[in-house]
Amino acid sequence: MKRVYFDNNATTPVAPEVIEAILPYLREKYGNPSSIHTFGAEAGAAVEKARAQVAALLGAHPDEIIFTSGGTESDSTAILSALESYPAKRHVVTTRVEHPAVRSLCAHLRSRGYRVTEVPVDRQGLLDMDALRAALTGDTAICTVMYANNETGVIFPVEKIAELCRERGILFHTDAVQAVGKVPLNLAKSAIDMLSLSGHKLHAPKGIGALYVRRGVRFAPYLRGGHQERGRRAGTENVPGIVGLGVACDLAAGAMSEEQTRVRAMRDRLETELLRRALDAHLNGHPTQRLPNTTNISFEYVEGEAILLRLDHVGIAASSGSACTSGSLEPSHVLRAMGVPFTMAHGSVRFSLSRFNTMAEVDYVIEHVPPIIAGLRAMSPVGRERLKSVAS
Ligand SMILES: *Cc1c(COP(=O)(O)O)cnc(C)c1O
């Protein structure tokens, strides 16, 4: 059976060049970078090469890069570091649409006595900048705003927000897990203090990520132990993962604009055709202020989960905005924050592409989605009413 993977915001396939680069570090180059013998030196040099590759993609200095276990650890490290570095400040500013890696931590901080302000978004998923400005106070230790949303692809003006924070002496962190490798970054020219990225969202393996910490920013480690990462993140380095992340960043830097143009063309064709061919289909998220690879579409009067199961039957992998937790279908917090009506939020599907997809795959999905939607509508009482009203 044909298999089409359109769920790249959940995780990406590892690039063949990345796999090739990793293998020697699993086979013969297995030294511990902290060891003084040649095995250790070899591994240590590979880690430093990868650090330079990650830094180059971000426009950062290598000593501003700390390797972590992924996006979640980077987010936690950044936020907790700010709170520990400025213990008198008890306020965190964030948004209503963050990834659980930030959202759950902020909820936990609130239960521990911190004040947390979640800035709202509008119907298109754009941030309320007046509310954000009003939220920043003398008591704010850190403002953390994602670069691009994982569910809708909507991009926030984080450079601008970073400047607002800098003017007020507030640390600014961005969860850029979905942006790195898709949008050009140059941290040397920005006011961003800390930035999180994750390997498995840009064709490196799972379980490796990095945190950028600008030179001079106060920092408190999250993991204590050995002296790895210059005392900023203890634990023996994930050398194969780090090597893979370096190569993945190199590949992303090399062909970003050309590849993202191709990805955007595929995404746009998919989106245009689905909105045209499927009845009562609506785009979630701003049409242009968005990542080139993501489209989130609501098919009214049908359940997202039901669509996903049928898509899976024809080999298509996508994702829905609703998570089936403990038997209750909760629409996504992102779509709820945008004020997407319940009937639409339930029927949302996210298609997220990568440079490994093809236009032939787009055509396969365009061919299969409309009949699946029509079939599911015909099964539901509300859907049947709607079909009748359109036919008459
Ligand atoms: C995937 C993702 C994360 C979590 O990264 P992990 O490496 O899986 O821990 C955090 N933020 C965003 C926006 C993501 O998409």
Domain boundary among 199, 223, 252: 252
Q: Are residues 207 and 275 in the same domain?
A: no
Q: Are residues 179 and 291 in the same domain?
A: no
Instruction: Select from 198, 291, 319 the residue to mutate for testing ligand 1; criterion: most ligand atoms less than 8 Å from CB.
Output: 198
Domain boundary among 199, 227, 252: 252
Q: Give me the percent of the chain exceeding a pLDDT of 90.
A: 91
Mean pLDDT throughout 193-218?
98
Q: Are residues 277 and 332 in the same domain?
A: yes
Q: What is the C-alpha to C-alpha distance for residues 48 and 53, in angstroms, rounded to an integer?
A: 9
Q: Are residues 285 and 322 in the same domain?
A: yes
- 278 pLDDT above the threshold of 80: yes
Q: Are residues 112 and 97 in the same domain?
A: yes
Instruction: Select from 98, 175, 211 the residue to mutate for testing ligand 1; criterion: most ligand atoms less than 8 Å from CB.
Output: 175
pTM of the model: 0.96
Q: Are residues 179 and 262 in the same domain?
A: no
Identify the domain containing residue 78 by its residue range: 16-252
Q: What is the C-alpha to C-alpha distance for residues 23 and 149, in angstroms, rounded to an integer?
A: 33
Grade residue 255 by pLDDT with cuts at 50, 70 and 90: confident
Ligand 1 contact, 146 CB (< 6 A): yes
Q: Are residues 214 and 268 in the same domain?
A: no
Ligand 1 contact, 99 CB (< 6 A): yes
CATH number of the domain encompassing residue 311: 3.90.1150.10
What pLDDT sits at residue 326? 44
Residue 384 CA to ligand 1 centre (angstroms)? 39
Q: What is the C-alpha to C-alpha distance for residues 165 and 137, in angstroms, rounded to an integer?
A: 10
Classify residue 128 by its DSSP letter.
Answer: -
What pLDDT sits at residue 47? 98
29-62: pLDDT as tens digits:
999 999 999 999 999 999 999 999 999 999 999 9
CATH number of the domain encompassing residue 30: 3.40.640.10
Residue 165 CA to ligand 1 centre (angstroms)? 24
Q: Are residues 226 and 269 in the same domain?
A: no
Domain boundary among 202, 233, 252: 252
Ligand 1 contact, 150 CB (< 6 A): yes
| Atom of ligand 1 minimally distant from the CA of 199 | 7
Q: Are residues 290 and 245 in the same domain?
A: no
8 A C-beta contact, residue 259 and residue 355: yes
Counting the structural domains of the chain, the total is 2
Q: Which of 40-44, 251-255, 367-371, 386-390 has the lowest mean pLDDT?
A: 386-390
Nearest CA to ligand 1 atom 15: 150
Ligand 1 contact, 178 CB (< 6 A): yes
- 277 pLDDT above the threshold of 70: yes
What pLDDT sits at residue 321? 67
For residue 37, the Cα-to-chain-centroid distance in whole angstroms is 39
Ligand 1 contact, 101 CB (< 6 A): yes
Check if 165 is active-site.
no
304-363: pLDDT as tens digits:
999 999 999 999 999 986 555 445 567 899 999 999 998 899 999 999 999 999 999 999
Q: In what order do the strands lie in the sheet with 319-320?
A: 281-284, 294-299, 348-352, 319-320
What pLDDT sits at residue 323? 55
Mean pLDDT throughout 231-249?
98
Q: Are residues 213 and 293 in the same domain?
A: no
Ligand 1 contact, 241 CB (< 6 A): no
| Atom of ligand 1 minimally distant from the CA of 75 | 10
What pLDDT sits at residue 195? 99
Q: Are residues 192 and 59 in the same domain?
A: yes
131-176: pLDDT as tens digits:
999 999 999 999 999 999 999 999 999 999 999 999 999 999 999 9
Residue 210 CA to ligand 1 centre (angstroms)? 11
What pLDDT sits at residue 325? 45
8 A C-beta contact, residue 314 and residue 274: no
